[in-house]
Chains A and B, each alone.
Chain A
Amino acid sequence: MLCQECQQNEATIHIVKNINGKQTELHLCEKCAIKKEELDFSFEPQFSLHQFFAGILEQGLQNSRHEQDVANLQCPSCGLTFAQFSQVGRLGCSECYKAFEKRMKPLLRRIHAGTAHTGKVPLHVQSRVKQRRELAQLKDKLKLKVENEEFEEAAVLRDQIRDLETRMQEGQKDLLDKGEEN
Chain B
Amino acid sequence: MKQGALNFSRWMAGTGPDNDIVISSRVRLARNIEGQPFPCLAADETTADVLKQVGDMVSGRNGFIDFSFQPMEEMSALGKQALVEKHLISPLLARGVKNGAVLLSRDEAVSIMINEEDHLRIQIILPGLQTEEALEEANRCDDQMENILRYAFDERYGYLTACPTNLGTGLRASVMLHLPALIMTGQINRFLGVLSQVGLAVRGLYGEGSEIVGNLVQISNQVTLGQNENEIIGNLNSVMRQVIEQEQEARQALLDKKRAELADRAWRSLGLLKYAQVMSSQEAIQLISDLRLGFDLGLIKTVDHKLLNELLVLIQPGCLQLLAGKELGTAERNLERPVQIKKALHRFQMKE
Which residues of chain A have C-beta atoms less than 8 A from B37's C-beta? 77-78, 92-93
In the complex, the answer to whether B155 meets A132 with C-beta atoms within 8 Å is yes
Which size class do A's interface residues fall under?
A: 35 or more
- Whether A117 contacts B186 in the complex (CB less than 8 A), given A90-B163, A93-B37, A104-B164, comes out as no
Residues of chain A within 8 A of B260, CB atoms compared:
none
Inter-chain contact A91/B168, CB cutoff 8 Å:
no
Chain A residues positioned under 8 Å from B167 (CB to CB): 97, 108, 112
CA distance in complex: A48, B36 (Å): 27
Q: Which residue of A lies closest to B183 (CB)?
A: A41
The one of B40, B155, B211, B225 that contacts A125, using a Cβ cutoff of 8 Å: B155
Q: Let me know if B226 is at the binding interface, CB within 8 A.
A: yes
Q: How far is the CA of A122 from the CA of B41 in the complex (A)?
A: 24
The 8 Å CB contact of A113, one of B163, B203, B225, B229, is B225
Is the Cβ of B156 less than 8 Å from the Cβ of A123?
no
| Closest CB in chain A relative to B112 CB, distance in Å | 17
**Cross-chain contact B38 with A92 (CB below 8 angstroms):** yes
In the complex, what's the smallest C-beta–C-beta distance from B139 to chain A, in angstroms?
7
Tell me if B327 is interfacial: C-beta within 8 Å of chain A.
no
A-chain residues with CB within 8 Å of residue B183 when the two chains form the complex: 41
Residue B185 lies at the interface, judged by CB distance under 8 Å to chain A: yes
Which residues of chain B come closer than 8 Å to A15, judged between CB atoms?
186, 189
Most buried by A among B150, B158, B212: B158
Looking at the assembled complex, report how far the CB atom of B89 sits from the nearest CB atom of chain A, in whole angstroms.
Answer: 18
Tell yes or no: B1 within 8 A of A by CB: no
B152: CB under 8 A from chain A? yes
Q: Which of B69-110 contact A (CB under 8 A)?
A: none
Chain B interface, >50% SS class: loop
* A120: B residues at CB distance < 8 A: 139, 142, 158-159, 169, 228-229
Judged by a CB distance under 8 angstroms, whether B34 is at the interface is: yes
The residue that A112 contacts in the complex, of B35, B36, B155, B226, with Cβ under 8 A, is B226
Do residues A42 and B203 form an inter-chain contact, with CB atoms below 8 A? yes
- A113 to B227 Cα, complex, angstroms: 7
How distant is B115 from chain A, measured CB to nearest CB, in Å? Answer: 14
Q: Is B224 an interface residue when CB atoms closer than 8 A count as contact?
A: yes
Asked if A111 contacts B228 (CB within 8 A), the reply is: no
The answer to the question of A115 belonging to the interface, with a C-beta cut-off of 8 Å to chain B, is yes
Question: Which residues of B have CB within 8 Å of A45?
Answer: 209, 211
Assembled-state Cα–Cα distance A13/B162 (Å): 40
Quick one: given A53-B165, A92-B41, are A118 and B150 in contact (CB under 8 Å)?
no
Interface status of B336 (Cβ within 8 A of chain A): no
- Output the residue of B36, B146, B208 with the most chain A CB within 10 A: B208
Q: Is the CB–CB distance between A97 and B224 below 8 Å?
A: no
B-side contacts of A128, CB under 8 Å: 155
Complex: A92 Cα to B37 Cα, angstroms: 6
Q: Does A176 contact B (CB under 8 A)?
A: no
Least distance between A54 CB and chain B CB atoms (Å): 10
Chain B residue at minimum C-beta to C-beta distance from A79:
B41
Q: Is the CB of A50 within 8 A of B212?
A: no
A117 to chain B, nearest CB (A): 3
Q: Is the CB of B162 within 8 A of A90?
A: yes
Can you list 30 pairs linking A and B with CB atoms under 8 Å apart? A13-B184, A41-B192, A42-B202, A48-B209, A49-B165, A49-B208, A53-B165, A92-B40, A92-B41, A93-B36, A93-B41, A97-B154, A97-B160, A97-B167, A104-B164, A111-B164, A112-B224, A112-B226, A115-B157, A115-B226, A117-B157, A117-B169, A117-B226, A118-B227, A119-B158, A120-B159, A120-B228, A120-B229, A122-B153, A128-B155
Could you tell me which B residues sit within 8 Å of A by CB distance? Answer: 32, 34-38, 40-41, 117, 139, 142-143, 146, 150-160, 162-165, 167-169, 171, 183-186, 188-189, 192, 199, 202-204, 208-212, 222-229
- For the complex with contacts A117-B225, A120-B139, 5 further pairs of A-B residues with Cβ separation under 8 Å are A16-B189, A42-B209, A92-B37, A111-B164, A112-B167
